[in-house]
Amino acid sequence: MCLAMPVLVLELTSDDQAIVDLGGVRRRVSLALVDAVQAGDYVILHAGYALQKLDREEADRTLGLFADLARLDAS
Amino acid sequence: MNRARKDWSHPLDFRDGRVDMTHGSGGRAMAQLIDELFLEAFDNRWLRALNDQACLDVPAGRLAMATDAHVVSPLFFPGGDIGSLSVHGTINDVAMAGARPLYLAAAFVLEEGFALADLRRIVQSMARAAREARVPVVTGDTKVVQAGKGDGVFITTTGIGVIPDGVEIAGARARPGDRILVSGTLGEHGVAVMACREGLEFASSVRSDTAALHELVAAMVDTAPGIHVLRDPTRGGLATTLNEIARASDVGMMIDEARVPVSEGVAAACEFLGLDPLYVANEGKLVCICAAEDAGRVLGAMRAHSLGADAALIGEVVADPNCFVQMQTALGGRRIVDWLSGEQLPRIC
Amino acid sequence: MKYIDEFRDAGSARGLAAAIARETDASREYRIMEFCGGHTHAISRYGIADLLPANIRLIHGPGCPVCVLPMGRIDSAIELALEHKVMLLVYGDCLRLPASAGMSLMQARARGADVRMVYSTQDALRFARDNPRREVVFFAIGFETTTPATAVAVLQAERDGLANFSVFCNHVLTPPAIEHILGSPSQAGDVALDGFIGPAHVSTVIGSRPYERFATDYGKPLVIAGFEPLDVMQAIRMLVAQLNEGRAEVENEFTRAVTRDGNLKAQRLCAQVFELREAFEWRGLGVLASSALRLNERYRGFDAEARFRLAARSAPDHKACECGAILRGSKRPSECRLFGTACTPERPMGSCMVSSEGACAAHYSYGRFRDAA
């Protein structure tokens, strides 16, 4: 259910929309559901709409936890 | 080209002209279309003879023959168009028997109202593809259907080729222990076409991989005449092709996800659309199954060719009464890679 | 792909698998339901089960909007397209949905229905603008993740005066379905569920708060998790820890985009446009109270059900279909006698086989080698 993916906001365009990028693929999406998004932000995209900003610090924290476990496993 | 006569007082209007019913009626308008478009583009001695058939000299050996009806929407897409696709598709079908393609035939179904400029662009692209592949289009046919009864243009091509002695390539010849190779990154054609469909427009640098594979096949067969199976994973992608072979050969397969080559652009587009690259169409890739002892040489021959530069060994054939195609996932798990079920459709959930 | 590939890393998966193996109590079983079809899909596609100890059993829940949509609703959509001759706009997922008598929207298209695929409600509005003489109906489907996009479209259609646009609303709610599973009296053979994995994308909108009372009222832990394989594994690990410690809390694994309150703007827009239906039928689960949305009085003009006077239709599932038991976790897909014979992804008979996210389809397409072994 609810396929969504993190995408990078490249630029804001008129009418509450933005151009986003995912691995070189670009698409125009709606920002009607989120406030204060800026170029350079990552957002969670679902069916053409940004649903939520992605908190990069939290993402890095989660990844740090995984990396610690991977190191523990490798050692 | 020297034409014997010129009966047409006005040349075809390739700027604003449209296909009309007279272009398929068998009369003068049709003759003019053949003359100024098809002969001009394909130019060869068989077509110039203006017979209803091409009379061909065929070398000794077994013949491979294939036919393929091409419908694609949109007609023009990044990396190709229906014209180049219709040449490559049939050449590849012939080549997958290990054959050297010799000649092509082409039949066009044109829709009334189709722009002559677009038709010329398609025919010229087709002629260029045939010329580059060195496989001439030696005979053809044109019909026109009423507006609304076609989708611009449908092209059916038929090809024949000759199979070198000692080559015996067939879908039923995969054996447990054989190795599975692919000639390059997967899913590019399907993604390129989908990227420009109405409603899905996304900007991507992915171009269709449409290409004629017969020279790559010739290099592979030269190296290892004992190759067991060749197949081009078009509609339904790699997953469907492997399942077809598994069923025909009554074997199973085990592939390794980490070794399956997929470009970043295709991976990203699939992420956007909820698709699996294993099921996305290719038009310039092949799957090869050969004995383990041949695999290294075949892979080397593939990588030495420009169309096989990213070739990879992705797995092996196993004994399995269920004929399952299974995959070791990159994460370290295992799953089935099933037949495509239904149509490959973009998902939001 | 930033923030995607890192969450599929094989080394980290091994690390997580080792941690889970270390931390599980071999003397007990952990029965965890992943509510959402997206998680079912991730578990199957990445082969996550192979990385888990045998005493962790994953039970696939009903959280797939196309799976739980009853056939009667698809019959109504086909009626819109074939009899009312509207231009029907659907997400790609819906084209293959089985209706009664072997029909589907794909089949309806073959019979002349004008059914088109869209990727976003923005595309749907564009079709309505470009075809002012046609009635254009958007087949709205999905959980809370997808609902706000429909709300935006309705508000935009009102603002732009798109009188030819309407919505056939099938939006359903996650918490009532989980509550139904938690609260349904156990039937013979049912397994007691120990905990839940909740869908992160739903919670980007509704937050984690709506689940809190489940933890307190039913004493079951729930971890909201992302859809990448490492997210799912970490959520399992967090549930194992809660169960070992006897805790029952709502925890959030997807801290990178889920907060306790969720997306208040999206919630506000939905509240502006929708109201609760008293009851709605879920395929496989039955009729659930207050589990779905329709357009409210103010926006009734955009409701295709009102505009085209659609009658409620009901189409029963096959008698031998075990979807209900499978969705409750009391049967496995392979224990249904229709599975893989009469019921396949090509010809689904029950809800769990409808989309690749359904429990049966996922098992058939990705996991049935386990039955053969």
In angstroms, rounded to a whole number, what is the distance separating the alpha carbons of residues A35 and A18?
A: 12
- Looking at residue A2, what is its pLDDT? 82
* Across C172-177, average pLDDT: 95
Whether C184 shows a pLDDT value over 80: the answer reads no
More confident residue, C229 or B5: C229
In angstroms, rounded to a whole number, what is the distance separating the alpha carbons of residues C281 and C261?
A: 28
SS3 B265: helix
Whether A1 shows a pLDDT value over 50: the answer reads no
More confident residue, C63 or C254: C254
The answer to whether B271 contacts A27, with C-beta atoms less than 8 Å apart, is no
In angstroms, rounded to a whole number, what is the distance separating the alpha carbons of residues C351 and B13?
A: 56
- Looking at residue C187, what is its pLDDT? 59
Percent of chain C exceeding pLDDT 90 equals: 76
- Looking at residue C102, what is its pLDDT? 82
Substitution target from A2, A16, A27, A29 for chain C, most C beta carbons within 10 A: A2
- Looking at residue B6, what is its pLDDT? 64
**pLDDT bucket at C189, cuts 50 / 70 / 90:** low
In angstroms, rounded to a whole number, what is the distance separating the alpha carbons of residues B89 and B102?
A: 14
CA dist B95 → B63, B299, C138 (Å):
11, 18, 46
Contact of C139 with chain A, judged by CB distance below 8 Å, is answered with: no
Burial B173-210 (b: 16+ CB within 10 A, else e): bbeeebbbbbbbbbbbbbbbbbbbeebbebebebbbbb
Tokens of B202: 């996304």
**Are B196 and B271 a contacting pair, CB within 8 Å?**
no
- Looking at residue B2, what is its pLDDT? 45
The Cα of A62 is separated from the nearest Cα of chain C by a number of Å equal to 8
Whether C100 shows a pLDDT value over 50: the answer reads yes
| B160 DSSP β-pair partners | B65, B103
Contact of B343 with chain C, judged by CB distance below 8 Å, is answered with: yes
**Are C12 and A71 a contacting pair, CB within 8 Å?**
no
Across the interface, which of A8, A52, A56 has its CB nearest the CB of C204? Answer: A52
- Looking at residue B215, what is its pLDDT? 98
Q: According to the 3-state scheme, what is the secondary structure of B112-148?
A: CCCEHHHHHHHHHHHHHHHHHHCCCEEEEEEEEECCC
Q: Given the structure tokens 């035939």, which residue do they identify? A: B105
* Across B105-114, average pLDDT: 97
The answer to whether B205 contacts A22, with C-beta atoms less than 8 Å apart, is no
Whether B102 shows a pLDDT value over 70: the answer reads yes
Contacts of A30 in chain C (CB under 8 A): 120, 122, 149, 152
More confident residue, C327 or C188: C327
Contacts of B332 in chain C (CB under 8 A): 10, 13-14, 17, 47, 50-51
The neighbours of chain C, by the rule of 3 or more Cβ pairs under 8 Å, are A, B
- Write the pLDDT tens digit of every residue in B127-155: 999 999 999 999 999 999 999 999 999 99
The answer to whether A23 contacts B268, with C-beta atoms less than 8 Å apart, is yes
Tokens of C201: 């994308």
- Write the pLDDT tens digit of every residue in C43-99: 999 999 999 999 999 999 888 888 899 999 999 999 999 999 999 999 988 888 888
Poorest-pLDDT segment among B30-44, B209-223, B285-299, C180-194: C180-194
* Across A34-43, average pLDDT: 97
Find the closest chain C residue to A34 by CA distance.
Answer: C265
Poorest-pLDDT segment among B18-27, B243-252, C136-145: B18-27
Contacts of C50 in chain B (CB under 8 A): 332-334
Across the interface, which of C4, C120, C143 has its CB nearest the CB of A1? Answer: C143
Whether C218 shows a pLDDT value over 80: the answer reads yes
Closest CA to C13 of C237, C232, C230, C228: C230
- Looking at residue B1, what is its pLDDT? 44
Contacts of B262 in chain C (CB under 8 A): none
**pLDDT bucket at C355, cuts 50 / 70 / 90:** confident
In the DSSP assignment, the letter for residue C158 is: H
**Are B218 and B302 a contacting pair, CB within 8 Å?**
no
**Are C224 and C199 a contacting pair, CB within 8 Å?**
yes
Q: Average per-residue pLDDT in chain B?
A: 94
In angstroms, rounded to a whole number, what is the distance separating the alpha carbons of residues C195 and B26?
A: 74
**pLDDT bucket at C324, cuts 50 / 70 / 90:** confident
Percent of chain C exceeding pLDDT 70 equals: 98
Whether C105 shows a pLDDT value over 70: the answer reads yes
- Write the pLDDT tens digit of every residue in C107-128: 999 999 999 999 999 999 999 9
**Are C282 and C322 a contacting pair, CB within 8 Å?**
no
Whether B97 shows a pLDDT value over 60: the answer reads yes
Tokens of C185: 């009296």
| A5 DSSP β-pair partners | A45
- Looking at residue C349, what is its pLDDT? 85
Counted across chains A and B, CB pairs separated by less than 8 A come out at: 39
- Write the pLDDT tens digit of every residue in A10-32: 999 988 999 999 999 999 999 99
Whether B8 shows a pLDDT value over 90: the answer reads no
The pTM score is: 0.94
Find the closest chain B residue to C140 by CA distance.
Answer: B348
Q: Given the structure tokens 């996304």, which residue do they identify? A: B202
Whether B285 shows a pLDDT value over 90: the answer reads yes
Contacts of C359 in chain A (CB under 8 A): none
Q: Given the structure tokens 């949509």, which residue do they identify? A: C69
